[in-house]
């Protein structure tokens, strides 16, 4: 049984993202599999998704500018009725290839993260997609509990905390399996004005850190700072406006054409 999990709290994502993630998993995995969402409200989630309340913790989630520390709820001794290896997936990623290799890679007892491409000189994992055995991260959760705010501030991101403190160390999935949308798929200036974002053949999962989510990629805009997609020439004219949302070099690099392949995969 291949076990896939996700977590949702609040209203930033909710059922539309959960239901699409389930559908992408179902299209790209060889059964049998289970899909479990740990959430604060199961309303609107499709019936095929198993739901459990958010795992309880006896410490306060760190409040920091960086990192997604509520994920630490998943590091406890129990996760619903699950046992053995589970593959965690962020709600805002896009699955473009088979997930089977993520369950076949390494040993069942390994903690395996996707590689963080933003830090080429640091061996850093990325927790948008990572596999771990249920309960194996309990010592790491206990360590965080000892001083949550200090440890979160020191590590900055939760993936750095996992990378450095997972019991027995971590392994990394092959770099080519999990790609970063802005770094691996979008085009550099000035090609971004004439060529749409690409989907490399090796990609099995595309992650969306940094404020550009699948709906933005489909529409062709760089996150919420841009209200809508505009034609390339109109966008170029905006480079000379005093009210552009960022300095001119970033403004020009951040133009995006729509990516139809994201819509093809990110759907129920």
Query: Residue range 164-178: average pLDDT?
Result: 97
How far apart (Å, rounded) are the C-alpha atoms in residues 181 and 230?
A: 20
The answer to whether residue 173 scores a pLDDT higher than 90 is yes
Return the closest-CA partner of residue 57 out of 70, 67, 48.
Answer: 70
At 63 the pLDDT is 87
Q: Which two tokens stand for residue 11?
A: 């209203």
The answer to whether residue 243 scores a pLDDT higher than 90 is no
How far apart (Å, rounded) are the C-alpha atoms in residues 221 and 251?
A: 11
Selected from 3.90.480.10, 3.30.160.620, 3.90.550.10, 3.40.630.30, the CATH number assigned to the domain covering 2-172 reads: 3.90.550.10
Residue found by looking up tokens 């903690």 in the block: 111
The answer to whether residue 226 scores a pLDDT higher than 90 is no
At 239 the pLDDT is 92
The answer to whether residue 121 scores a pLDDT higher than 90 is no
At 262 the pLDDT is 98
Confidence of residue 225 (pLDDT cuts 50, 70, 90): confident
At 227 the pLDDT is 83
For the chain, what are the domain ranges?
Answer: 2-172, 178-265
Confidence of residue 186 (pLDDT cuts 50, 70, 90): very high
Chain-wide mean pLDDT for the chain? 95
At 120 the pLDDT is 80
Q: How many degrees, rounded to 5, is the angle at CA 205 between CA 203 and CA 207?
A: 115
Helix segments in 109-192, DSSP class H: 138-146, 148-155, 158-165
Q: Which two tokens stand for residue 235?
A: 């966008």
Segment 30-89, tens digit of pLDDT: 999 999 999 999 999 999 999 999 999 999 999 888 889 999 999 999 999 999 999 999
At 66 the pLDDT is 85
Query: Residue range 143-157: average pLDDT?
Result: 95
pTM, two decimal places: 0.94
How far apart (Å, rounded) are the C-alpha atoms in residues 167 and 139?
A: 7
């Amino acid at each position: 049984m291949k076990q896939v999990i996700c977590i949702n709290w609040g209203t930033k994502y909710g059922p539309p993202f959960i239901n699409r993630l389930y559908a992408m998993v179902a299209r790209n995995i060889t059964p049998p599999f289970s899909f479990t969402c740990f959430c604060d409200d199961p309303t609107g989630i499709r019936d095929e998704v198993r739901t459990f309340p958010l795992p309880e913790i006896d410490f306060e989630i760190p409040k920091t500018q960086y990192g997604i520390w509520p994920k630490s709820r998943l590091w406890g001794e129990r996760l619903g009725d699950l046992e053995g290896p589970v593959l965690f997936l962020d709600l805002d990623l896009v699955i473009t290839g088979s997930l089977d290799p993520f369950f076949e890679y390494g040993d069942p007892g390994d903690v395996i993260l996707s590689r963080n491409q933003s830090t080429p000189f640091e061996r850093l994992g990325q927790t948008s997609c990572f596999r771990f055995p249920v309960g194996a991260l309990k010592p790491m959760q206990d360590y965080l509990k000892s001083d949550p705010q200090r440890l979160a501030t020191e590590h900055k991101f939760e993936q750095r905390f996992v990378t450095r403190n997972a019991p027995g160390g971590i392994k990394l999935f092959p770099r080519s399996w999990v790609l970063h949308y802005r770094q691996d798929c979008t085009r550099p200036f000035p090609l971004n004005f004439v060529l749409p974002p690409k989907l490399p053949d090796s990609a099995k999962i595309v992650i969306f850190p940094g404020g550009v989510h699948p709906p933005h990629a489909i529409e062709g805009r760089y996150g919420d700072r841009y209200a809508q997609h505009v034609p390339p020439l109109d966008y170029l004219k905006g480079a000379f406006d005093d009210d552009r949302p960022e300095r001119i070099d970033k403004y020009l690099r951040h133009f995006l054409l729509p990516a139809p392949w994201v819509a093809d995969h990110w759907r129920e």
